[in-house]
A = this chain, B = another copy of it.
Amino acid sequence: MSQKIRWGVLGGGGDSLIGVLHRVAASMFDAYALTGAVFNPDYEQNKAFAQEIGIPLDRIYPDFDAMVEAELALPVDQRIQVFSVLTPNFLHYPMAKKLMESGFHVICEKPMTMTHAEALDLQKIQADKGVLFALTHTYTGYPMIRQMKAMIAQGAIGSLQKVDAQYYQGWINPIIHDPDQRSTTWRLNPDKSGISCCMGDIGVHAYQMLEYVTGQKIESVLADLNHLYDDNQMDIDGTVLLRLGRHVKGVLRASQIATAEENNFSLAIYGREGALKWEQENPNYLTLLKDGQPAQTLKPGHGYNTAFSLDGTKLPPGHPEGIFDAMGNIYKGMAKAVRGQEYTEGEFPSMEDGVRGMKFIETAVASHAEGNVWKKL
């Protein structure tokens, strides 16, 4: 019998969208049992929310520290095995740190930490403790992203010569032009959000995905960031020039003032033998281009996809799955790892993705601050 994995949740209570996303994802393959939680820092609200979603109250704890202590006091076969950290960004680091030090596996929302130094600390702890760590860069869970990664690894487009990632949103546009809103929105406050808004929130997604699908490291960056009002200088837009290797260049564009864009994240990877293109808002289409041939459109669930991609599709072709399903695939991969089953590297983003992501953010900000100069990653 494959007993469900005992799963603890930190944050994600109330109206939290991220809470819904993780709970649904965890349920998708019948692998996790929500066993204990601190959904909310207020104990009463925490309990109320647990009741609202039908969770017994016996392992709903007053706070994080109490939870860790109590769980550690339980026999191993009753103890929570893996925690999801869905709290505000500044809590990711201390919580993940204590959890891993205590021997728990961790699923962590992005950004992994507030600084690169914190990220390196977590990396060291994970290595020391030998626990599992998944960073929920959700888009990696889309079947056609997995297919893209697998095809590039197999040489379908040959050696890389150009990469292009776009992540355009417009949600800050109505905020930034209003002095009140721009001074109160947490995402625009470096104390709450870290040193970067646009690069820290979405640029890092684009960065992670470029490295994820290509399997190559970005070596150096030159960033030009933008803000609209001098009374709030957090970046809300920016372009980053990329170098991946000798004669392999690229560009990463991100904006939160690309007016009225929703979540327009796209990738285009050009190699000597072909190209692969993908768009997050239509995630079930992967375009393959080859010199002198008709464009091909790959879709999930077909036998021509790799096993790695097919593992992420539940229904036959033509039944569109979406972002909940992408997150579900990440949870599925982590469940395999927790259970000691075989899994493919890339089923869930790792500590290294988090470390490199934090490094990217800091480096891009520094490149801009120093006058748009090249900086090594």
Contacts and interface: CB of A to CB of B under 8 A. Distances in A.
Interface of A: 1-4, 17, 20-21, 23-24, 27-28, 30-31, 33, 51-54, 157, 161-162, 164, 168-171, 173-174, 177, 222, 224, 226-229, 237, 239, 241, 247, 249, 251, 253, 255, 257-264, 268, 270-275, 280-284, 288-299, 302-304, 314-325, 328, 372, 374
A301 to B, nearest CB: 8
B299 A296 contact: no
B262 A318 contact: yes
A31 B51 CA distance: 11
A320 to B, nearest CB: 4
A32 B260 CA distance: 37
Contact of A282 (B21, B249, B320, B323): B320
Contacts of A320: 280-283, 320, 322-323
A258 B270 contact: yes
A312 to B, nearest CB: 13
Given A247-B228, A270-B255, A292-B304, A17 B315 contact: yes
14 contacts: A1-B52, A21-B314, A31-B54, A161-B228, A162-B255, A226-B249, A239-B251, A258-B268, A259-B291, A263-B318, A292-B304, A319-B322, A322-B322, A324-B325
A contact patch SS:
loop
A289 B23 contact: no
Contacts of A27: 23-24, 27
Contacts of A226: 162, 247, 249
Given A272-B259, A372-B374, A294 B289 contact: no
A294 B290 contact: no
A291 B258 CA distance: 10
A284 B281 CA distance: 9
A314 B20 contact: yes
Given A224-B222, A259-B275, A294 B283 contact: no
